[in-house]
């Protein structure tokens, strides 16, 4: 895989999409960077990316495109044509990108993933498809009985699925099963398409941890795993022990901003020659001491080298 490549990012104006596009604009030898989003870009968003590209550390400023489009429409030429001129696609887009998504939200998000992944596999240009899946595919490991089956570093991408985190600590309890199902289905789509492509398009599904909007500091993590959910602190909670258990679970899946962009940079560019299959799944968290998540596969197959640890303060 050449490191000098053109990349399309769906959900390019969202939290994760913006962070990755700014990183690629500043540091990657990309020739073209295309952001795809259902929202029209503002002049400020375009200028921020152009300014980042002008400061590119490789001396090769990528051409920047921000396209308003509808990924639910398989016949929308705006995004389909974009996939004919890029070598890599990173898919973040979802109707509701948070764990409180409804089943109706989930159905639309699955449609988008299927449309984009199919189009990428059919494009003669696309060599790599990176799907932003989620830790919530394994969310049932937060609580017993599954919690009792894992220790530090033992929760791997090959562990039995535990789809859908449940927040018993909230009132009423919240359930991320609908959101998590979109991610599990997306992983399976990538697996099937990778097999059928015989390696002409390779797929990475990265089960990312908690990467908060903005500065994404360890101090702002709590027991919810979702910036839109507020449940107070352990001192005022009716189940302080349950709150602290949930807080520890979500803190230990923290993914710092610099580890996030490094992970996806590697997912875009890593050589697939030593992969066990054309489609792989990896965990994507920072190197958080004591977490259940295994980073062995991300290190081995992508060359991921996380820098931060939530217990050391992170960056």
State both tokens at 124: 């003669």
Confirm if 109 and 237 have CB atoms less than 8 A apart.
Answer: no
* pLDDT at site 198: 84
- Residues 120 and 88: their CA atoms lie apart, in Å, by 8
- pLDDT number for residue 72: 98
May I ask the CATH class of domain 94-222+252-312?
alpha beta
> Do 100 and 179 meet the contact criterion of CB atoms below 8 Å apart?
yes
Tens digits of residue pLDDT in 216-226: 999 888 766 66
State the angle between helix axes of 15-27 and 257-269 in degrees (0 to 180), rounded to the nearest 10: 70
Residue reference for tokens 């302080």: 240
Burial class (CB in 10 A: 0-12, 13-18, 19+), 276: exposed
Give residue-wise pLDDT tens across range 6-59. 999 999 999 999 999 999 999 999 999 999 999 999 999 999 999 999 999 988
Tens of pLDDT, residue by residue over 97-145, are 999 899 999 999 999 999 999 999 999 999 999 999 999 999 999 999 9
pLDDT in tens, 150-190: 999 999 999 999 999 987 656 667 889 999 999 999 999 99
| Phi, psi torsion values for 99, nearest 5 degrees | -65, -10
CA of 197: how far to CAs of 57, 123, 261, in Å? 34, 11, 27
137: DSSP letter? G
Per DSSP, the residues of 215-264 read T--GGG--SSSSTT-----GGGSS-HHHHHHHHHHHHTTB--HHHHHHHH
- What percent of the chain has pLDDT above 70? 91
pLDDT score recorded for residue 2: 52
pLDDT of residue 117: 98
pLDDT at site 220? 86
Residue 228 has pLDDT above 70, yes or no: no
* Of the candidates 186, 191, 183, the residue with the CA atom closest to the CA atom of residue 165: 183
Q: Is the confidence at residue 61, as pLDDT, over 80? A: yes
* pLDDT bracket for residue 199 (50, 70, 90): confident
Q: Which range, of 176-190, 229-243, 292-306, averages the lowest pLDDT? A: 229-243
- pLDDT the model gives residue 241: 75
C-beta contacts of 243-250 below 8 A and 24+ residues apart: 243/169, 245/143, 246/142, 246/167, 246/169, 247/221, 247/222, 247/223, 249/142, 249/225, 250/210, 250/221, 250/222, 250/223, 250/224, 250/225
């Amino acid at each position: 895989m050449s490191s000098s490549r053109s990349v399309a990012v769906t959900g390019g104006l969202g939290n994760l999409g913006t962070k990755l596009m700014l990183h690629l604009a500043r540091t990657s030898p990309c020739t073209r960077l295309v952001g795809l989003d259902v929202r029209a870009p503002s002049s400020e968003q375009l200028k921020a990316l152009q300014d980042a590209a002008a400061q590119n550390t490789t001396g090769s400023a990528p051409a920047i495109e921000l396209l308003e489009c509808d990924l639910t429409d398989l016949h929308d030429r705006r995004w389909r044509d974009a996939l004919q001129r890029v070598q890599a696609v990173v898919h973040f887009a979802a109707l509701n990108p948070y764990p409180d998504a409804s089943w109706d939200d989930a159905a639309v998000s699955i449609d988008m993933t299927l449309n984009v992944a199919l189009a990428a596999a059919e494009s003669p240009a696309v060599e790599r498809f990176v799907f932003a899946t989620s830790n919530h595919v394994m969310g049932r490991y937060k609580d017993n009985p599954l919690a009792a089956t894992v220790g530090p570093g033992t929760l791997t991408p090959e562990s039995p699925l535990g789809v859908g985190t449940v927040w018993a600590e909230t009132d009423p309890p919240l359930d991320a099963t609908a959101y998590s199902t979109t991610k599990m289905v997306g992983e399976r789509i990538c697996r099937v398409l990778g097999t059928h492509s015989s390696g002409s398009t390779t797929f990475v599904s990265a089960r990312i941890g908690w990467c908060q909007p903005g500065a994404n500091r360890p101090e702002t993590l709590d027991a919810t795993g979702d910036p839109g959910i507020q449940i107070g602190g352990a001192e005022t909670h009716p189940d302080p022990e349950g709150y602290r258990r949930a807080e520890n679970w979500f803190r230990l899946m923290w993914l710092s901003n610099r580890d996030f962009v490094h992970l996806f940079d590697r997912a875009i560019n890593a050589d697939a020659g030593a992969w066990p299959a054309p489609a792989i799944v990896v965990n994507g968290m920072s190197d958080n001491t004591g977490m259940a998540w295994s980073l062995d596969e991300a290190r081995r197959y992508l060359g991921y080298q996380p820098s931060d640890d939530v217990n050391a303060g992170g960056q």
